[in-house]
Structure 1
Amino acid sequence: MNGTKIANARPTASTVVRGDSPGGIQRTRAVTRAFTRGLNPPPHPDVADAILLVVSELATNALRHGGGRYTLELSAGPDTVTVAVSDPNPAVPRARPPDLSTGTGGFGWHMVRRLSREVTITRGRGKTIYASLLR
């Protein structure tokens, strides 16, 4: 019985993408779309959109605030999809009030936390943000 649970807990799919420029975000989104479409069963379209938004926000924040490069790893288990974005800056994200007047941001970290079932951060020479979404 325990062996079955452990086997089911393994990821069923995994993809890694590296980026170091704003142009790479578009490629990262395309890889994420292909990843979610390739899952069997594929996630509901609303879930796939949430995964794409979390990836986009975390990768963009890594470029802007995390040292200008990132590594994205997407993995999926039977019930969840995990987005892991690593960057070279060990500083953790700070939530700030969204700027509604000048449009300078403040929305991304709030969205990531709201859309994800769980968000964890590990730090070392840089950091990795793990966002888990129900599949």
Structure 2
Amino acid sequence: MICRTRRRGRLGFTLELTAGPDTVTAAVSDPNPAHPRERNPDLGGGSGGFGWHMIRRLTHHLTITPGPGYGKTIHAQLPR
């Protein structure tokens, strides 16, 4: 069984979740063509820095593809 949901954010990003028998895939598209970069997490100011570290540790498979349009899509596959 595959279940899909899609949500478009106010800042121009799209999140699509796909659930299969053994994995969940999250696809995040945004208008920025730059690849994500690791940075030191901000432990006090709340400006982030945790997401890319988490995604890289939790995923079984991770790809970044150009598009749609000018931006990129990050596909992260996680075990169920």
TM-score, structure 1 length as denominator?
0.52
Q: How does 1:17-96 map to 2 (within 5 A)?
A: 17-20=7-10, 68-96=11-39
Matched with 2:4 is 14
Matched with 1:33 is none
Matched with 1:122 is 65
Structure with greater Cα Rg: 1
SS in 2 for 1:120: strand
Say yes or no: does 1:98 pair with 2:41.
Answer: yes
Q: Which has the higher helix share?
A: 1
Q: Which amino acid aligns with 1:14?
A: R
Q: 1:17 to 1:104 in 2, by over 3 A?
A: closer
Percent identity, please. 64
Q: Which has the higher strand share?
A: 2
Cα distance in 2 between the residues matched to 1:75 and 1:115 = 16
Per the TM alignment, residue 115 of structure 1 is displaced from its structure 2 partner at its CA by: 1.6
Cα distance in 2 between the residues matched to 1:123 and 1:73 = 16
Gaps of 5+ in 1: 1-10, 21-67
Q: Relative CO higher for 1 or 2, CA cutoff 8 Å, sep ≥ 6?
A: 2
Matched with 1:107 is 50
SS in 1 for 2:24: strand
Gaps of 5+ in 2: none
Cα distance in 1 between the residues matched to 2:34 and 2:12 = 14
Q: Which amino acid aligns with 1:19?
A: G
Cα distance in 1 between the residues matched to 2:65 and 2:37 = 15
